[in-house]
Structure 1
Amino acid sequence: MGLWILIGLNIITKVSGYSNGIFPMVCESMFPDHKTASASPFLPQNTTAPFDIIPEPGNEGDNITVFLKSTSLTPFRGFMLEARETINGNEIGNLTVGRFTTLESFPARLLTCKDSAGAAVSQRNNQMKTMSQVIWTPPSKPVAITFRATFIETFETFWINVEKNLVLPITPVRLPSTGIAMTLLDMFLVVLNMGLPNIFDSVRPGPLSRCLSKVSRICCTLLCTAVEIAALVLFVVSHPIQVLLVALVCVVMVINFIQLVVVFLPFGANNELKEIRGHAVNGCSVVHLMFTIGVIFVGIVKIVVCGKNGADSWLLLTMITFTVWAFLFVIWVFVTNTQRNAILGRRKIESPENSQSWREESKEKNLCGWILAAVSIIFIVGSLCFTVAIIVGLVGCQKEAGA
């Protein structure tokens, strides 16, 4: 008699169906540990499951409502649901992603898999049901996932590997390529702002060149202001908002405003003060250039679709070359300005205008001026070529990201 009691207790233990929803050690296989009286496992059904997984995504980044429904009149008692990351339709080592939460109107139990709380969810009781509903929070990165479920109709009848594929809305860093392109135009305008006065002063120094220099500086500064406002708007409306880029552009706009104020300062006929103003404007241009380059580098580094990594990106290498080119031009401008001022000062002290030496020196100076202007033009044209090349690269990156 005692032997039969022990056998009966053993059978009761073996047929426990985990009605409370706790599935021990089945996170990977999702196979219910349902066994016969002889300890043989029940096998899953090999027919199409009369149940379905229906995810209903909201807006980008929102939680996803997942419905577990019967596609017929067949109810189910239990279920287990996971979300697994996939690449090209293949699961990545049974890796669960995201996190489930439950609803009061649909009692369910959260499970911990591989130390990840809420990685799976199952029923809380074994009551008959034709639908259950849970909430799934996706990971922060865009992934392709497969919802995988086990449905239990009765202790002996269940289906495994019921799947529903879902590609999360990819929210890449929609880096504002247009904003970076506008900043590149701003960088070229800064180069132009330094180059045009240098050309005018090299070819024919005098009142006319000073007037042309001032007009060119005002025009370039105003154009910089318009371009920077456009870039700022594009960075603000980008998704997600580019906070660092917005901050850097704001600094650039302040520097540009200071430069505009310096250009408009009235100095009358005082040549020394005008010379100081020229150096101050060039100094502002250098600082302006440095921050503009910072904006462009931060933006380009964020564009990961143009290369496997930032160091291998031809776009980044081109920008580095452009930066070196721009600073060589800055050095050229300061050296030529210093040299030109020294020559003018020496002429005023040493040679009267009607002397033979003055006329010879004037011819030599004119020739040197044209050479200096030609070199400045080469720098400006080169800067334009770099600007166009990088903008074309940005357009290509944008198309690749949107593909």
Structure 2
Amino acid sequence: MIMKLLVCTSLLLCSMVLLVECYPDGAPEESCKTLAPSSEKHDARPQTTTSPYSLNISGFNDGEGYHYELGKTYQLTLLGVDKHPFKGFFVEAREKKSSNETRPTGKFTVMQGDSVSRLSSCSVRTDGITQKSAVEKVAVTFEWTAPTLGVGDINFEFAVVQVKKIYWAHQLTASIKQKPSAL
């Protein structure tokens, strides 16, 4: 009888742990609207300190600033400064519609051989990228293809989850302008 009670208690505790694990297989679709992990699910608020993570957009620097060409594919890398590990991430390219309104733009691609990323479906299936599992990572490289029609200036906005209760949201890259010849 005691053995049955111990087994049942163990199963119940394991079930509870699984319930609070929070999206190990990537950001849910509601993250598209908030561009942040759920503070209720993570049982914490976003960090307000400087993030130890960055999104490398050096491929957009053409010597005259950050620019993108319509339809061109760029490689980006999300990484932890000094190889700081992270478990989760969510990245979108956002076009500015007005001072308060943005929307996803462009198309992400998971790199061949990447076993930690998957595409996210916000407006369409390829307009965001997130983690496939909660395995620890120090860098993730993926591709983004600019839209074929002009949308003006963009930013990449991202969130990074270090561990369940420690995450940074609404991290922005520098503004990237549409290449003048493509306007």
Q: CA deviation at 1:105?
A: 3.5
What CA RMSD, in Å, does the superposition of the two structures yield over aligned residues? 2.8
Q: CA deviation at 1:73?
A: 3.3
- Aligned counterpart, 1:146: 155
Q: CA deviation at 1:106?
A: 3.0
| CA displacement, residues 49-73 of structure 1 (integer Å, 9 cap, x when unaligned) | 0011122238733212111111223
Q: In structure 1, how many angstroms separate the alpha carbons of the residues matched to 2:40 and 2:13? A: 15
Q: What are the residue-to-residue correspondences of 1:121-136 with 2, within 5 Å?
A: 121-136=129-144
| Partners of 1:142 and 1:171 within 8 A in 2 | no
- Aligned counterpart, 1:83: 93
Q: Normalised by the size of structure 2, how large is the TM-score?
A: 0.77
Q: In structure 2, how many angstroms separate the alpha carbons of the residues matched to 1:124 and 1:134? A: 13
Q: CA deviation at 1:22?
A: 4.3
- Which has the greater radius of gyration? 1
- Aligned counterpart, 2:24: 19
For 2:38, give the aligned amino acid.
D
Which of 41, 44, 69 aligns to 2:43? It is 41
Q: In structure 2, how many angstroms separate the alpha carbons of the residues matched to 1:34 and 1:46? A: 14
Instruction: Name stretches of at least 5 consecutive residues in structure 2 with no aligned partner.
Output: 63-67
- Aligned counterpart, 1:109: 118
- Aligned counterpart, 2:65: none
- Aligned counterpart, 1:166: 176
Decide which structure has greater helix share. Answer: 1
Q: In structure 1, how many angstroms separate the alpha carbons of the residues matched to 2:48 and 2:27? A: 24
Instruction: Name stretches of at least 5 consecutive residues in structure 1 with no aligned partner.
Output: 174-403
3-state SS of paired residue (1:46) = coil
| Partners of 1:51 and 1:151 within 8 A in 2 | yes
Q: CA deviation at 1:117?
A: 1.3
| Partners of 2:153 and 2:177 within 8 A in 1 | yes
Describe the shift of the 1:128–1:67 C-alpha distance in structure 2 as closer, same or farther (beyond 3 A).
Answer: same
Q: CA deviation at 1:17?
A: 2.7
Q: CA deviation at 1:152?
A: 1.0
Which one scores higher on RCO, CA 8 angstroms, separation ≥ 6? 2
Q: Normalised by the size of structure 1, how large is the TM-score?
A: 0.37
For 1:52, give the aligned amino acid.
S
| Partners of 2:39 and 2:46 within 8 A in 1 | no
| CA displacement, residues 5-49 of structure 1 (integer Å, 9 cap, x when unaligned) | 78636632431232222424211112223657xxx8321111010
Q: In structure 2, how many angstroms separate the alpha carbons of the residues matched to 1:142 and 1:170? A: 12
1:100 aligns with 2:108: yes
Q: CA deviation at 1:4?
A: 5.7
